[in-house]
Amino acid sequence: MSEDIERLKEAEKENEYSYDYATEEEKSPGQHSDANWVPGIILIAIGVIFLFTNLTGFHLDNWWALFIMIPAVKNFGSAWNSYQRHGRFTKSARGSITGGLILTLVASAFLFGLDWGLVWPFFLIIGGVAALFNGWFD
């Protein structure tokens, strides 16, 4: 039994210190860095919103609420990365999706001036669906 524990400890140490030191040139065409796509998406979204505003005359009074979407997009990206890594929606991925949906709901309420009396039941619905999925799939 102690031999098994020692082997597991050694295997854990090897995994802890392993790192993919491949440079961008050494990576295969299918591999890419996931660190820089969130700022790119955010810049594209802001540009599209400003273009839409200039072309249509539509005006957002609470444009600052778009900054709430930054962690929402990051949560959705984390969920996608987890799905890609594991091939299924793990508990971590479902948590990221839930957080992203809640932040998107808050940002939408501020952006479009929605009545909080209309919005708050959606928080309960999102939480209930998340609890059901966590109970069914893990």
pLDDT digit string (tens) for 2-61? 676 777 667 666 665 544 444 444 555 555 555 567 678 778 888 888 888 889 877 777
CB 77 within 8 A of CB 88: no
pLDDT at 132 over 60: yes
Token code pair at residue 21: 């030191």
34 vs 97, residue with greater confidence: 97
The first and second tokens of residue 49, run together, are: 């919103």
Q: What is the DSSP letter of 112?
A: T
**What is this structure's pTM?**
0.61
70 — pLDDT class (breaks 50, 70, 90): confident
Listed in order, strand segments (DSSP E) in 17-128 are none
DSSP-derived 3-state class of residue 131: helix
